[in-house]
Structure 1
Amino acid sequence: MVISYTVGLLPYLLAVAALIGLIFRLLAPLAKLPGPWYTALTSLVLNYHEFTHGRTLYIHRLHQKYGPVVRLAPNEVSFSTADAVKEIYMSGGSGYDKTEFYSLFTQFRTRTLFSTLPRADHSYMKRYMADRYANTSVMKPEVLDGVSSHAKDFLKKCLEGCAAVSYADIYIHLHCFALDGVTHQLFHPYGTHANRDEKDFRLAKEMSYHDSLKSNFALYYMPWASDVVHYFNPPKPAPLTNDYVLKSSAGSSPSPFSLLSKLQAQAKATSMPPHYVPAECKDHLAAGVDTTGDALCFLMYQLSQPTLESERIQGSLRKELMENPSTPFDRLPYLDAVVKEGLRCFPPIPMSMPRYVPQGGSTIEAHHIPGGTIVSCQVYTVHKDPGVFPQPLEFQPERWLDAQGEIERNRWFSAFGAGGRGCLGRHLAMAEMKLLLREVYSQCRTTVSDQMNSDMEMEDQIIASRPKGQCCKLVFEKVV
């Protein structure tokens, strides 16, 4: 009798519990923040956009409607100001601690610099490898000569493609270039030459096309169901990449400027985990291919548009390059403006980089945010604030040459992240982009092929963003 009575009450007890939970969420501090009503109750709408490659644009639309502070879920808030970037990512040197989201980026079951969560551990790891990516190291001839050689390989491959089939698919060849550039820095003399070696080309293809977004997000939200997730949506297969990294990481006598030489020396002097060296190298490899390759792809496609404005910009760039053939690439103002505008419009990592608010809470944009809340700033949205970047959707390199507003523009520019946990390879990436563009546009004019029918909209991946169609057909025409 008692059991029957209790079972009969169960639906009502569950309903009361649900109602109490609903009331608590509606009375929680975050419920008072701007945002759609449903975000105070559930994260399901946000999750839907994540799983369908649309998180970035969904959050951007919310900011356009609700302003610089938007509640995304019962325990998650997005901000879109430079002051919020400074607080979240730069306070205390490296900002707030990372969330478990970054655990998705372990390699060989080992945490790397990027996937290390506590700030103190990250600072220790960064200290012994940061010098390899310092601008003084990147600007050494042994680094720049290698990158320049790979830029020549890229242009040669594209011209051969145009001669054979009237166009070149720069999407894959730029990923090859990025692979060659980062492996030169990581492993020299064991780097790749993917634009002229078939084996290395297959490695670049393996790294450039697989879609692992759904699998990774499923693991993030349902780690207890990892076996089921892997069964229906296996993780990114990378046998060629793993084999290359493991063999190269074990190579003897790497070049003194390489990251491998520093990691091997550190491994001998300390008690590192067995797979730490290859894990760290693979992480840098993955970070350096898609980001640089996709950023260049979006930028060259923009420069090649059949509009008078794009033709003018490409002509101005070519004029500067042809008139200053011996000027170092970092002293060419228009080239720098083109690259920065490309990174503003098409940031290689446009999405939110989530962090935990410290215990005790913080004040961000005049709102008190409780400790443990997930907060972030989305670079895509920060870069499109019309008060800082007038006509933000237009590609205007000249905005970076205007002294008026220069300090504020640079304060809001965060294509490589911010603070102590920003992109370690930013100087290498800038050098790669500028050397590649100088090689191409000092000699050629590029236009969009009439056979180009692929979608060039930005498509979210787990952390980066790539052209949706993963193909970009351009025509290269020699002008000198």
Structure 2
Amino acid sequence: MLSNIKGEQSPVAIYLWRLLRHTNYRIQRAKMGIQTDFPVLDSFFSLPFPFKIASLLVVGIAFRLLWNRFRKELRDIPGPKVAAYTGLWRWLDVRAGQAHKNAIKLHKRYGSLVRIGPNHVSVSDPREINHIYGMKSKYTKTEFYHPIQSIIWKGKAEPHLFTMRDLTVHRESKKILANAYSPTSVLAYEPAVDECITLLLYQIEKLAEEKKPIDLGEWMSYYTFDVIGQLSFSKMFGFLEKGCDVDKIIETIDIVLTYASQCGQLPELHKFLLGNPFLPGGAMNQIVDFALKAINGAASRHTSLRKDGVLDALDIESRGDMLTKWYALNQNGSQWMTTKYLVAHLSANVYGGSDTTSIALRSVLYYLGKNRDKMRKLVEEIDGAAAAGNISQPVSFKEANTHLPYLNAVIKEGMRIHPSAGLMYERYVPSGGDTICGKHIPGGTVVGINPWVTQYDPEVFPDPESFVPERWLDSTEEQLKRMEQSFFNFSAGSRTCLGRHIAMIEISKMIPELLRRFELTLTYPDREWETRNVWLVKQKGVICNITKRS
């Protein structure tokens, strides 16, 4: 073997041959008990084979840790000391379930740039939001999104709009999807949302008659899931009707989020876990199956839309739901709405379109319950608008925006004090590097901003831990501009959440209808709720006593 290697004339082959010959020489000398000029090497070569391997592993790991710690241009960025050596620090931080609170503490201690991993930097300056996430930004999403949070279709991870990393594919896909989420389309969805609100209020009234505490937080999830069913498939999933987690889809999504949040800190492990093609797709497959069940349940409608083998545009608009609109694009041969994309985008609606809004609703209700003066002020505004004939029943989205300014401030403050996402929105620094907060950051570094950090900045939001809706009404124009710049609940730029208008219509219509019919008080007003960060910061403990108002 050595002679064969020696026969090669390339410098690399010659070097390898010499290295092997020298190593063999040391091994033979060590076996004979003859020392050389390198005692450490002599001791190593005299070890049994398993100990040699173990020693090499220890040396390799130590070298890698030191390489991580002293990485050029990141070595002087402050942060937890252990975090610079290994991504395990991030994993442990996320696994503890309170990473959002820890992020606030870290930036208070270390400043606007915090190194939270060997190649990860957290940013707190809201002025960098447009720089990193703006429409013209070249920063791209990381493996935290795709493949970890993508759906599994035919054994392969397929991205949807939220997880797409390719800027061109995202841009073209967004063009054809945006119409379904536009303000005009949202207004057309109002009757579908009203149906869900009517059923929710009916169920709450029945429960209120039992005079027992009600977990209103759970019902917020049932409401938002059924709204997504209406908007996506013109059919509720059945959460409100049954008053339970249909097909355990809420539980399944919680499992997916937990996996994504933790594996996302060590994405290289994904290919050995749920990313392994030889393993079942697990919980993510259940989400796809749930979406396919809804698609199949609505499929018979589409045969009636065909006229001479072509889908009629007017009929499509009259149906209004997303499945119908996107199915039309699929049938017309759009390369951006093939079957895999159709399933991916509808699955994404189920996966991401419900929890985020229910989190915001729970926040509003919880903090109103904790601050009875704010609750009274909002109820008085709603009652006054109703008495003046300014709002109908149910309240329209336009009426809520026009005649209920304090409601809008309450909603904004609820999302400010408890953002839905609790980890930074990760992005890769473009090739060649870039300057962030006056510091050059090398290309390929993972950077990001956590909405909890910007929305708890005391310089922008005085007394940030207090629920103060008035700040959105009484601030100066300059201060309001800074607050809006720091409000990062829906991300920003080309990646701004397309579903934000849907979320606002769900919240703006439901809250006033709930409060004009019922009196809500927290069953345990002195007890703090439980929060757990699994990428989304989910809450438990919005337990209420509910009585019907006269």
Q: Output the TM-score relative to the length of structure 1.
A: 0.89
Distance in 1 (CA, whole Å) between partners of 2:541 and 2:59 is 54
What's the RMSD between the two structures over aligned residues?
2.8
Q: In structure 2, what is the equivalent of residue 261 of structure 1?
A: 324
Do the aligned partners of 2:211 and 2:545 also contact (CA within 8 Å) in 1? no
Q: Corresponding residue for 1:363?
A: 435
CA contact (8 A) 1:245 1:278 kept: no
Rate the CA distance shift 1:105–1:48 in 2: closer, same or farther, 3 A: same
Q: Aligned AA for 1:347?
A: P
Q: Does 1:417 align with 2:491?
A: yes
Asked whether the 8 Å contact 1:133–1:427 carries over to 2, the reply is yes
Shift of 1:266: 1.4
Aligned-residue identity in percent: 26
- Structure 1 residues 116 and 81, CA gap change in structure 2 (3 angstroms): same
Partner Cα separation in structure 1 for residue 280 and residue 343 of structure 2: 28
CA distance in 1, matches of 2:138, 2:492: 9
Does structure 1 retain, via aligned residues, the 8 Å contact 2:208–2:548? no
Matched with 2:272 is 225
2:462 is aligned, of 368, 374, 390, to: 390
Mapped contact 1:249–1:281 kept (Cα < 8 A): no
1:244 partner amino acid: K
Q: Cα offset for 1:445?
A: 1.9
Structure 1: 5+ residue stretches without partners: none
Give the count of matched residue pairs: 466
8 Å Cα contact 1:158/1:167 also seen in 2 = no
Query: Any idea what SS the aligned residue of 1:391 has?
Result: coil
Name the residue aligned to 2:513.
439
Question: Which residue of 222, 235, 241 corresponds with 1:176?
Answer: 222
Q: 1:233 to 1:136 in 2, by over 3 A?
A: closer
User: Post-superposition shift, 1:435?
Assistant: 0.7
Give, in whole Å, the separation in 2 of the partners of 1:457 and 1:392.
Answer: 19
- Whole-angstrom distance in 2 between the partners of 1:266 and 1:213: 30
Q: CA deviation at 1:91?
A: 5.1
User: SS where residue 416 of structure 2 aligns?
Assistant: helix
Query: Per the alignment, do residues 437 and 394 of structure 1 end up closer, same or farther by CA in structure 2, a change over 3 Å counting?
Result: same
Using structure 2 for the length normalisation, give the TM-score.
Answer: 0.78
What is the CA deviation profile of residues 187-222 of structure 1, one whole-angstrom value per residue up to 9, with x for unaligned ones? 11x3334312x3x84427532574344533337341
Match of 1:8 among 44, 69, 94: 44
CA, structure 1 residues 34+228, in 2 after alignment: closer, same or farther (shift >3 Å)? closer
Task: For 1:22-421, list aligned pairs within 5 A.
Answer: 24=67, 25-26=69-70, 28-90=72-134, 92=136, 96-103=139-146, 104-109=148-153, 110-140=158-188, 143-188=189-234, 190-196=235-241, 198=242, 201-203=244-246, 205-208=248-251, 210-216=254-260, 217-218=262-263, 220-226=267-273, 235=283, 238=286, 241-248=290-297, 250-253=299-302, 255-269=318-332, 270-271=334-335, 272-305=337-370, 310-325=371-386, 326-327=390-391, 328-331=399-402, 332-404=404-476, 405-421=479-495
1:105 positional shift: 2.1
**Cα separation, 2, equivalents of 1:423 and 1:320:** 30
Judging changes above 3 Å, is the alpha-carbon distance between structure 1 residues 232 and 205 closer, same or farther for their aligned structure 2 residues? closer
**Does the residue aligned with 1:32 lie in a helix, a strand or coil?**
coil
Where 1:375 maps in the other structure, the secondary structure is strand
**In structure 1, how many angstroms separate the alpha carbons of the residues matched to 2:191 and 2:139?**
38
CA distance in 1, matches of 2:472, 2:55: 63
Does structure 2 conserve the Cα–Cα contact (< 8 Å) formed by 1:349 and 1:379?
yes
Amino acid paired to 2:487 = F
Q: Which amino acid aligns with 1:466?
A: K
1:252 partner amino acid = R
Look up the match of 1:473.
543
SS at match of 1:138: helix
Task: Spell out, residue by residue over 1:275-328, the C-alpha distance to the aligned partner (whole angstroms, 9 max, x if none).
Answer: 3212211101221111111221122122112xxxx1111111111111113340
